[in-house]
Structure 1
Amino acid sequence: MAELKEKLFSEFPPVSTEEWMAKITADLKGAPFEKKLVWKTGEGFNVNPFYRAEDIEGLKTPASLPGEFPYVRGTKKDNDWKVRQNLKVDDPKETNRRAKEALNRGADSLGFYLEGEAVSRESITLLLDGIIPEAVELNFATCGGAAEKLIGILVGYLKEHGADLNQCFGSVEYDPFEKLLVQGTEQENWIDETVKVLKTGNSLPNYRTLVVNAYLLSDAGAYITQELGYALAWGNELLSKLSDAGLTVSEIARKIKFNFGISSNYFMEIAKFRTARWLWAEIVAAYEPKDKDEAGKMVAYARTSNWNLTIYDAQVNLLRTQTETMSAALAGVDSISVTPFDAIYKEPDDFSERIARNQQLLLKEECHFDKVVDPSAGSYYVEVLTNSLADAAWKLFLETDEQGGFYVAIHSGAIQKAVNASNEARRKAVATRRLSLLGTNQFPNFTEMAADKIKRTEQESGNVPASGIPSLDFSRGASDFEKLRLATEKSGKTPKVFMLTIGNLAMRLARSQFSSNFFACAGYRIIDNLGFETVEAGVKAAREKKADVIVLCSSDDEYAVFAPEAYELVKGKELFVVAGAPACSEELKTQGIEYFINVKSNVLETLKTFNALLGIE
């Protein structure tokens, strides 16, 4: 039997797309297919609910092979990636201890972040003590003005300790555009400075010294198309301007590293990395370097995004970062770092850093993600996503080029404004629950208090400095809700919200649960109930509990009777809310009832209104 070759399901007749659509249309019972089942993404294209073999006919990507131009399926023929641990260098000796502990516990790549004034021969000596540079990928980042100095010190250290420079690998991450994007301040003579860094970096043959920090766009709430399109424009700006300055395209391309973010859009992120390698290879090839195949190989580091992280119910961050890491691993990036789940509100400790490393080690050692190259290849869905993203990102790339290139676009603020607009749109989706953040705008932990655990204050962003160039807004998806709930905590008041449940059993329980989750998002104390025989009994019980807000939970049909009765009994002593959007809403409003909550409510704005009414600022 094992030797028999049979086609599975061959006894079943084929089903055409038309037959599938006819069945789906019938099951929708008149509801429009486009409205109900087609996903209207923020990426500039729509996604269908199903795809078939005919959808990938004529596409070139399914025929690609791993390690072959244009590298859709990867730049190598295996799927091993580096497990990177990022460390901020405050005390070089202590950081060295943490680095060696990380290496002993499974990391094989280190990322060191040094302030400019901390760059010295002594600090590098302490930092790298006992670390074998030929065996570990070493990555360094510092302020732009100190990058050239850091490379010189690093070369001197490696030579002094007898290291083989041809076997050492990693990066010194020089980014001439970060200040312009993050602070709205530009670096004068960036081309000359970048040329100096690149030429100095030639002493380290296998070190990348120029970076495209596309993760900044991801952290600022950019859609995937924007992160990808602008990253390509960013890399092309380096190729274009530095080649005009006399460098060859090959030596420039071989020194560029792409640092991407990873959002929670699982399959779209897989497609993003496949698309990124493909389009970058085509861009480099357009310059006609002699070693097109080698020069066009993208080196991609991926780190989980900050935009999705939350302060409340922070352990949920582990779930978010795990699926994000899976996307990048399956897509075949070169190295990954997982942001510790508590990094958004404090300096990560040994525990959270260990958990973050283990998230990757589980994918390698138990799930064997490193054993299969591009397992999503051939998937109708992923192949269509790859090509759709390529079309949308390429369009944005060309638009940026028409504006004069990446530098001109960020100097004018066009890119910052576009990304900030996306951030605002996505935060609005969070406010209205079209985008869920578990534990923040959906199913919050009712009793959690977070103010005391916050040890790190987030920088204000999105401002327009004296230069007049806007900066990126790094407000996270949860930032507005967290500000609201922290205001409740710090006010010293804990408003009580009483569920007056009455009438239809199923409806009152459903609306009570909905309303409890709704008001708990602001940190209010919820008093739920199984039900009351009369409205009067419910109001009486609410007053015994000293409720600040009474929420009537019943069925639409019963609201016409229960709501006016309850409102009359409340008489303005408590805030009165009707859960739902009954047909009699307008009539109830004429009787003085103001507040209704339902699935179409803007949760954030509604809760801001209640905070104001309850005297919470």
Structure 2
Amino acid sequence: MTVLPDEGFSLAAEFPDATREQWQRLVEGVLRKAGKDATGTAAEDALATALQDGLATRPLYTAEDAPPAAGYPGLPPFIRGARPEGTALTGWDIRQHHAHPDPRRANEAVLADLENGATSLWLTVGEGGLPVDGLPAALDGVYLDLAAIALDAGAGFQAAADALLRLHDERQVPAEAATGTLGADPLGTLARTGTAADHTAAAQLALRCARQRPGLRALVVDALPYHEAGASAAQELGCSLATGVAYLRELTAAGLSVEEACGQLEFRYAATADQFLTIATLRAARRLWSRIAEVSGAGPAHRAQRQHAVTSRVMMTRRDPWVNMLRTTVACLGAGVGGADAVTVLPFDEALGLPDAFARRIARNTSAILLEESHLARVIDPAGGSWYVERLTDELAHAAWAWFQEIERAGGQRAALDSGLIGERLAATWRERSGRLATRREPITGVSEFPHLGEQLPDREPAPARPSGGLPRVRRDEAYEALRARSDAHLAASGARPKVFIAALGPAAAHTARATFAANLFQAGGIEPVHRPATVDADSAAEAFAASGAAIACLCSSDPLYAEQAEAVATALKAAGARRVFLAGRPGERKESQLRAGVDEFVFAGGDAVAVLTSVLDLLGVA
């Protein structure tokens, strides 16, 4: 074993500390070589990555970027966690979701989950899930004093809550042992369905819980309707804060103290595959709610926000659903590191219908592996002290607070929903993000990148229709899914997919990169690439195109070979019946000459893939 000298690691002392200015000068040199002239802070700006809400990820963070101190775990403003011990003692609550409409089959799944690692249950009851009168059968054999139950019943929360409370009485569950959430969320129901639930009944239910079952929370502030309508992280946070404030006003008006009212709320947020943004979202949410509770008069011990994180449905894909396992693992990691009290990992096949036993097993084991094998819960606030995370948390908190204030100026959450302010703002955010998805600046593995046309999707029972009528529900894959569905219908009707002929010019070294790019692009729209033979020229292109069965073609090669052969090959392809000839590569200075040579359109990284693929399917008559 090496013993360090008392003064520390002496070798390191021989190297002077590097300054930010030195780093900037080195970056300036690299940018000049790349043809960009930027100095000082501008050099950093040139390497920054823009995020939503006006935020950006910078290339370098140092101690001077750190915001004011985040405090201590378990103390206001709770940035570092709601509990002093974090999740180090028990880990986060592994909350499994169930929505099967058959009480018997739901019970089988519930018991299997609880016996194999899940610690609580999140049940969709009523429309889109388990019938209310099936709740006793679904929870048969469940120890309600050990497993917390979170209900999600929309406008029918009163009937669902009554059924669960009756079950507690019948099974003689001690009042102090009953835990969970009864799921009343009138404003969330309004956002989902366009119709508000009974606010008075929600307040009375909270009063009942506070007086009779202090371990139960009556209301949930569900931010998922906004996330699933395309909201940014700051918009999701701002909407949740405005909803929480509205509930505080209603509960205190019904007779609860501010501290009792705070104790009746649980907040639900989405966790995405952007792990750092997920961590920052949960940390910022606790900071902001702590401030609201403080201003409302709650004591320090009652300002903590209880959080339930759910892996995002927006990020889940229907094609190549196995990749969803990776997405949910990263999202779960972000939720756990971010300090969520309960985490629900949605099964990888959730977008296809009702999940099977294997998918539920993978979902619950995601948390179990991160807790038991990766030991994420053994460190209190593992993200604390990261200059990037601390800065992102601070910037996100300010952006969310600005949106919250705008909602309050508009009259509060209910008024902002009724006026269309929230719907319009979320729609604008989603349009901007859809542009990044269409151009593949935000790639979707298995869908817009590396699609597999021959995959066999898992066969799942259809899931019950979820409530609708309010804010829309969006998915990242929706534009590409529409294209793939058109291709599938064409395959079913004709026995073949629409095809594109890859006309590769020259040796493999010259054409492989662009041929791979083109094949990947067209497959994202369900268009099968035909790359036979490996290379063509003006003499062989027509015969190869005719044999391919394709109606369109794409030239793929290097720029020098395009200059030599593109015109002759494009002319041959057109003479052979090609209805459209693409060229893989940016047009640049070659555009006019190549268009004259018979090239109709260029495809390149950063181009609008959805527009190109839609136009091709339209051209080919794929309905």
Q: Provide the TM-score with structure 1 as the length reference.
A: 0.92
The 3-state SS of whatever aligns with 1:536 is coil
Alignment of 1:207-356 (within 5 A): 207-289=216-298, 292-356=299-363
Q: Which of the numbers 587, 602, 616 marks the counterpart of 1:610?
A: 616
The C-alpha deviation readout for 1:159-206, integer Å capped at 9, x for no partner, is 33222110221111111013321222234xx43232222123332211
Q: Which of the numbers 582, 602, 609 marks the counterpart of 1:596?
A: 602
Q: Which of the numbers 391, 396, 412 marks the counterpart of 2:419?
A: 412
Residue 597 and residue 255 in structure 1: after superposition, are their counterparts in 2 closer, same or farther (change >3 A)? same
Aligned counterparts of 2:560 and 2:185: Cα–Cα separation in 1: 62
Q: Which of the numbers 159, 171, 179 marks the counterpart of 2:181?
A: 171
Q: Give the equivalent residue in structure 2 for 1:389.
A: 396
Paired AA for residue 499 in structure 1: I
Higher mean C-alpha deviation, range 589-598 or range 435-444: 589-598
The 3-state SS of whatever aligns with 1:473 is coil
Aligned counterparts of 1:456 and 1:431: Cα–Cα separation in 2: 28
* Contact 2:223–2:270 (CA under 8 A) maintained in structure 1: yes
Aligned counterparts of 1:178 and 1:401: Cα–Cα separation in 2: 17
* Contact 1:501–1:529 (CA under 8 A) maintained in structure 2: no
Once the 2 structures are TM-superposed, how far is the Cα of residue 34 of structure 1 from its aligned partner?
Answer: 5.2
Q: Give the equivalent residue in structure 2 for 1:474.
A: 473
Once the 2 structures are TM-superposed, how far is the Cα of residue 444 of structure 1 from its aligned partner?
Answer: 0.9
Higher mean C-alpha deviation, range 94-103 or range 379-388: 94-103
Residue 458 and residue 561 in structure 1: after superposition, are their counterparts in 2 closer, same or farther (change >3 A)? farther
The C-alpha deviation readout for 1:60-108, integer Å capped at 9, x for no partner, is 21xx111111111111113121111111152223322211111111111
Aligned counterparts of 2:171 and 2:452: Cα–Cα separation in 1: 53
* Contact 2:533–2:544 (CA under 8 A) maintained in structure 1: no
Residue 560 and residue 460 in structure 1: after superposition, are their counterparts in 2 closer, same or farther (change >3 A)? farther
Q: Give the equivalent residue in structure 2 for 1:65.
A: 72
Residue 377 and residue 302 in structure 1: after superposition, are their counterparts in 2 closer, same or farther (change >3 A)? same
Once the 2 structures are TM-superposed, how far is the Cα of residue 605 of structure 1 from its aligned partner?
Answer: 0.7
Q: Give the equivalent residue in structure 2 for 1:138.
A: 149
Q: Give the equivalent residue in structure 1 for 2:105.
A: 94
* Contact 2:347–2:355 (CA under 8 A) maintained in structure 1: yes
Aligned counterparts of 1:91 and 1:458: Cα–Cα separation in 2: 11
Unaligned runs of 5+ in 1: 466-470
Once the 2 structures are TM-superposed, how far is the Cα of residue 547 of structure 1 from its aligned partner?
Answer: 2.6
Aligned counterparts of 2:485 and 2:594: Cα–Cα separation in 1: 33
Q: Give the equivalent residue in structure 1 for 2:523.
A: 520
Structural RMSD (CA):
2.3
Alignment of 1:460-539 (within 5 A): 471-492=470-491, 493-503=496-506, 505-529=508-532, 531-532=534-535, 534-539=537-542
Once the 2 structures are TM-superposed, how far is the Cα of residue 286 of structure 1 from its aligned partner?
Answer: 0.2
Aligned counterparts of 2:45 and 2:599: Cα–Cα separation in 1: 33
Q: Give the equivalent residue in structure 2 for 1:581.
A: 586
Paired AA for residue 484 in structure 2: R
* Contact 1:430–1:436 (CA under 8 A) maintained in structure 2: yes
* Contact 1:218–1:262 (CA under 8 A) maintained in structure 2: no
The 3-state SS of whatever aligns with 1:315 is helix
Aligned counterparts of 1:28 and 1:325: Cα–Cα separation in 2: 37
Q: Which of the numbers 51, 56, 60 marks the counterpart of 2:61?
A: 51
Unaligned runs of 5+ in 2: none
Q: Provide the TM-score with structure 2 as the length reference.
A: 0.91
* Contact 1:219–1:474 (CA under 8 A) maintained in structure 2: yes
The C-alpha deviation readout for 1:446-488, integer Å capped at 9, x for no partner, is 42355x84754897999xx6xxxxx322121101101101111
Higher mean C-alpha deviation, range 342-351 or range 553-562: 553-562
Q: Give the equivalent residue in structure 2 for 1:38.
A: 48
* Contact 1:152–1:200 (CA under 8 A) maintained in structure 2: no
* Contact 1:347–1:456 (CA under 8 A) maintained in structure 2: yes
Once the 2 structures are TM-superposed, how far is the Cα of residue 128 of structure 1 from its aligned partner?
Answer: 2.6
Equivalent pairs counted in the alignment come to 600
Q: Which of the numbers 546, 549, 561 marks the counterpart of 2:549?
A: 546
Aligned counterparts of 2:544 and 2:158: Cα–Cα separation in 1: 71
* Identity across matched positions, percent: 29
* Contact 2:154–2:189 (CA under 8 A) maintained in structure 1: no
The 3-state SS of whatever aligns with 1:522 is coil
Q: Which of the numbers 569, 580, 587 marks the counterpart of 1:566?
A: 569
Aligned counterparts of 1:143 and 1:398: Cα–Cα separation in 2: 27
Aligned counterparts of 2:544 and 2:473: Cα–Cα separation in 1: 45
Aligned counterparts of 2:79 and 2:450: Cα–Cα separation in 1: 39
Higher mean C-alpha deviation, range 556-565 or range 92-101: 556-565
Aligned counterparts of 2:264 and 2:365: Cα–Cα separation in 1: 30
Once the 2 structures are TM-superposed, how far is the Cα of residue 549 of structure 1 from its aligned partner?
Answer: 2.1
Paired AA for residue 166 in structure 2: G
Paired AA for residue 345 in structure 1: L
Q: Give the equivalent residue in structure 2 for 1:156.
A: 166
The 3-state SS of whatever aligns with 1:162 is coil
* Contact 2:309–2:344 (CA under 8 A) maintained in structure 1: yes
Aligned counterparts of 2:464 and 2:437: Cα–Cα separation in 1: 20
Higher mean C-alpha deviation, range 322-331 or range 405-414: 405-414
Paired AA for residue 194 in structure 1: A
* Contact 2:332–2:367 (CA under 8 A) maintained in structure 1: yes
* Contact 1:446–1:526 (CA under 8 A) maintained in structure 2: no
Aligned counterparts of 1:502 and 1:556: Cα–Cα separation in 2: 11
Once the 2 structures are TM-superposed, how far is the Cα of residue 351 of structure 1 from its aligned partner?
Answer: 0.7
Once the 2 structures are TM-superposed, how far is the Cα of residue 405 of structure 1 from its aligned partner?
Answer: 1.1
Higher mean C-alpha deviation, range 473-482 or range 603-612: 473-482
Aligned counterparts of 1:554 and 1:141: Cα–Cα separation in 2: 55
Aligned counterparts of 1:204 and 1:98: Cα–Cα separation in 2: 27
* Contact 2:537–2:569 (CA under 8 A) maintained in structure 1: no
Once the 2 structures are TM-superposed, how far is the Cα of residue 255 of structure 1 from its aligned partner?
Answer: 0.3
